[in-house]
A and B are shown apart, each in its own frame.
Chain A
């Protein structure tokens, strides 16, 4: 999670900790819902990629 940029981390915290909707997050951070969605998708993909790399390294 430390590899994710601060804004994306903020988006993730708002979504998963504060259960805010994409619209609410977008309004708070001055971005569109689509942008919020993209940030979440990219953050997940990044973490997933790192996890898979870690698993391969440990095998």
Chain B
């Protein structure tokens, strides 16, 4: 096996793990629910409006 072939084999062996590692890194970079709540908080008026819309939609389905 020459050097290029060895490099090919090594690359083929490592590539799947690189994909998995990259995916896990991306998942871990997503903030937790608590952090998201701190960053993005809705006003009480907004929350009330959304609640009304959900109730309206729920009634429409029945």
Contacts and interface: CB of A to CB of B under 8 A. Distances in A.
B15 interface: yes
A31 interface: no
Interface size class of B (residues with CB under 8 A): under 10
A17 B11 contact: no
Interface size class of A (residues with CB under 8 A): 10 to 19
Contacts of A15: 19
Interface string B22-43: 1100000000000000000000
Interface of B: 11, 15-16, 18-20, 22-23
Interface of A: 1-2, 9, 12-13, 15-17, 44, 47-48, 51
Given A16-B20, A17-B20, 12 more contacts: A1-B18, A1-B19, A2-B22, A13-B19, A13-B23, A15-B19, A16-B15, A17-B19, A44-B11, A44-B15, A47-B18, A51-B11
